[in-house]
Structures are given as C-alpha cells and as structure tokens.
C-alpha cells in the first residue's frame, strides 16, 4: 500500500489580504458591463421608463384627448404633437403613442413584479416540501396551463369586466406558472445538497432554508424570467386589447392598431406606424437584453 503525501509548498502570507473571490453577481455584472448591446438596450429601457413616468406626471404628451389638428391630419414635423399625424378625431397620434407606452410599461412592470415573486414562492414551497403539497400544486398548474392563456385571459376579463385591473389579474394568473415550474425543479435538486443539509444540522428553520439558503442560489432564474415576463405581458396586452377584451377608452397600442385596421384603406398609416414602432423598439430591447442576461448569468462561463 502506498501512501501519498502532499506538501503544500505555497506559503500564504497573512500580512497581505487574500485575493477576493468574486460572486456570480459580480462576475455577471462585469460581463454585462462589457457587452455593448446590453448597455444600449438598458439605455432604451431606461428611456421608456422615464417617458412613462413623465407621462404619469402629465409632463409629456398631455392631454392626449385634446384636438390638435384636423381629422386624419398628415404627419407634420413642425411640432411635437403633430409629428405622427392625427387620428380620426384630430387627436395627436404622438401623444396617444406615449400614453400607450405608459400603459404598456405599467402592464409589464406590475405583471412581472407580482408574477415572478408569486411564482417563485409557490414553486419553492412545492419543491421544498414535496408530498401532497407538491401534488396539489402540480395538479393546479397543469390544469391552468392546459387552458390556453388567451382563453384564460378572456375568461378573467369577462369575469372582472374590461379594464386595467382585469388585465393585471389575467396576466398575472397566467404568467406565474412558468417560473413556478422552473423554481420547483431547482428546489427539488437543491434541497438534497450539502449546504442545505449543513444549514439543517445547524438548526435552520424551513423558512430560513427556503428563502435564505436555497433561493439566492437559484435567483438568476428570477432575473431572466423577469425580463421575459415583462416582454410577454406587453405583447399580450396589445393582442387582448386588439381582440376587444382588454383596455377600453384609453389609447393602448392594441386599440391604436385596431383603429388602423380600418384606416389603412384610406391611406392613413401613421397610427399603425406609431404603435408598431414604439412596441417594436421596447420588445427588441427586452429580447436582446434577455439574451445578454442569459449569457452573463450563466455560471458555467468564467
């Protein structure tokens, strides 16, 4: 039998501080800072947020329902209000687009801010406890995901009446499922790991194990999912409103595109362009940022 001895030749000087380890977050942040696309997209998203806030404070594009020109007036670069032309009632398409932006941003933000934590905690509890809790949970989400999102959304807006609240409830109740499923799977994997067993041995409570020990280790999924939910909420709002089950009486992008359906034949293209381009830019930015985040948060890349 041979014995192997290892000699540590490297001496660690205690005078100098040890090289600092970098956490996943620090590494990701470093990678993200070097990614020009990610920076550009963040700037675009920030710009949308600022415009939405200014619109909320009535500083930009206010009032959207005032008559600023003739009916179906052509785009005219002389002033900001007439830049994108006028709709059938002579209202500024630019102002309507900005109001639509505000609606889209609040839909995206509220949906993502509620659906992601909700889905994550549901998935965490189901995955951590297992047993009948998990079975009931799996049954519940399989049922909900068997009903096509669109029909569930239609049912909810039918039940709660059309408007912003119904829209929030409808979008949240369909969008928590995806992240809940992922987090549940991760918790089933993680709860057997040594660090959780160690925490358990030290007398950590279930609550502390779920939220303090395991959740931080899977939280990169939350960030990714947040940007995805934000984007799909914006898209869903436009389609639902277009189909007549969403927001009514306010200039959402979906309503503008619905108007455009009849306007195109009269050669009025500006309302469609305003809504489509505004939506395209934010969805593109979220798409690219999502990809960059996925790369930056991948723990396998160093």
H-type helices in 130-163, by residue range? 131-146, 149-160
- Min CB(151)–another protein separation in Å: 5
DSSP assignment of 108-119, as one string?
Answer: HHHHHHHHHHHH
Pattern 113-152, another protein, x by CB under 8 A: --------------------------xx-xxx-xxxxxxx
Q: CA–CA separation, 63 vs 87, rounded Å?
A: 14
Pattern 232-271, another protein, x by CB under 8 A: ---x--xx--xxxx-------xx--x--xx--xx------
Q: For the chain, report the end-to-end CA distance as a whole number of angstroms.
A: 39
Which one among 27, 32, 109, 154 touches another protein, defined by CB under 8 A? 154
- Min CB(252)–another protein separation in Å: 12
**CB of 88 closer than 8 Å to CB of 71:** yes
Q: Number of C-alpha atoms within 13 angstroms, CB side, residue 1?
A: 1
**272 lies in the site for another protein, by CB under 8 A:** yes
Which one among 40, 164, 199, 283 touches another protein, defined by CB under 8 A? 283
* Alpha-carbon Rg for the chain in angstroms: 25
Q: CA–CA separation, 64 vs 284, rounded Å?
A: 26
- Min CB(4)–another protein separation in Å: 33
**44 lies in the site for another protein, by CB under 8 A:** no
Which one among 106, 121, 219, 276 touches another protein, defined by CB under 8 A? 276
**193 lies in the site for another protein, by CB under 8 A:** no
Non-local (6+) Cβ contacts of 132 within 8 A are none
Give the count of beta carbons closer than 10 Å to the beta carbon of residue 198: 11
Residues that bind another protein (CB under 8 A): 139-140, 142-144, 146-152, 154-156, 158-160, 235, 238-239, 242-245, 253-254, 257, 260-261, 264-265, 272, 276, 279-280, 283-284, 287-288, 291
């Amino acid at each position: 039998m041979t014995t192997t001895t290892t000699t540590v030749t490297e001496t660690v000087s205690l005078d100098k501080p040890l090289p600092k380890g970098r956490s996943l977050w620090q590494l990701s942040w470093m990678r993200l800072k070097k990614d020009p696309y990610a920076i550009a997209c963040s700037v675009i998203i920030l710009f949308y947020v600022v415009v939405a806030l200014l619109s909320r404070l009535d500083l930009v594009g206010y009032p959207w329902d005032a008559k600023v020109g003739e009916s179906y007036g052509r785009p005219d670069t002389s002033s900001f209000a007439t830049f994108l032309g006028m709709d059938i009632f002579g209202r500024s398409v630019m102002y309507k687009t900005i109001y639509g932006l505000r609606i889209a941003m609040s839909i995206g933000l509220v949906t993502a801010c509620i659906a992601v934590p909700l889905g994550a905690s549901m998935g965490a509890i189901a995955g951590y406890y297992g047993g009948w809790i998990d079975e009931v949970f799996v049954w519940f989400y399989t049922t909900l995901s068997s009903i096509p999102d669109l029909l569930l959304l239609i049912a909810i807006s039918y039940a709660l009446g059309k408007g912003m609240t119904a829209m929030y409830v409808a979008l949240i109740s369909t969008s928590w499922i995806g992240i809940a499923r992922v987090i549940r799977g991760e918790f089933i994997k993680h709860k057997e790991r040594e660090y959780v067993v160690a925490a358990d041995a030290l007398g950590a409570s279930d609550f502390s194990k779920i939220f303090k020990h395991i959740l931080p280790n899977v939280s990169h999924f939350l960030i990714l999912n947040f940007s995805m939910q934000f984007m799909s909420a914006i898209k869903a709002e436009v389609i639902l409103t277009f189909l007549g089950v969403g927001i009514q009486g306010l200039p959402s992008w979906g309503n503008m595109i619905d108007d455009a359906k009849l306007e195109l034949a009269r050669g009025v293209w500006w309302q469609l362009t305003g809504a489509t381009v505004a939506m395209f830019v934010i969805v593109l930015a979220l798409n690219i940022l999502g990809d960059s985040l996925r790369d930056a948060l991948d723990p396998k890349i160093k």
